[in-house]
Amino acid sequence: MWRGEFYNARDGEFAMHSATPYKTAILALGEKKNRKAVFLKLPELRYPTYIFLMVQNKLVTYTELMADVMTYVLSAINSITYIEPSSTANRSILYCQLFEQIKTFM
């Protein structure tokens, strides 16, 4: 898409194509009357492309930690004082802060 060649892709109601004279990508969703489109310049598309892998890795990490978080929430929900997480729990989560958040909802 960045080489100045015309690019066109479609998946169901989602379509993406390029407008090469202006180095613009057009992202569209919907059919005919209900079609909504967004026009993005090349520099606007490069930033999400650069950070995509970082965001993907974070999402994988959060997905893997979900079981530890649920276990902690279920054990801490009835407690008045802070409970230490189990020794097998991942230390990437700030459990003290999580405990405070749980208490604001209860």
Give the tens place of pLDDT for each residue, 28-47. Answer: 998 878 889 988 887 787 78
Residue 72: Cβ-neighbour burial (10 angstroms; 0-12, 13-18, 19+) = buried
The pTM of the full predicted model, rounded to 2 decimals, is 0.50
For Cα atoms 13, 19, 25, give the angle at the middle one, nearest 5 degrees: 55
Give the tens place of pLDDT for each residue, 49-69. Answer: 788 888 899 889 889 999 999
- Of residues 26 and 21, more confidence is placed in 26
Range of lowest pLDDT (20-24, 53-57, 94-98):
20-24
DSSP bridge pairs for 27: 16, 38
The whole-angstrom separation of Cα 78 and Cα 106 is 9
For Cα atoms 67, 70, 71, give the angle at the middle one, nearest 5 degrees: 85
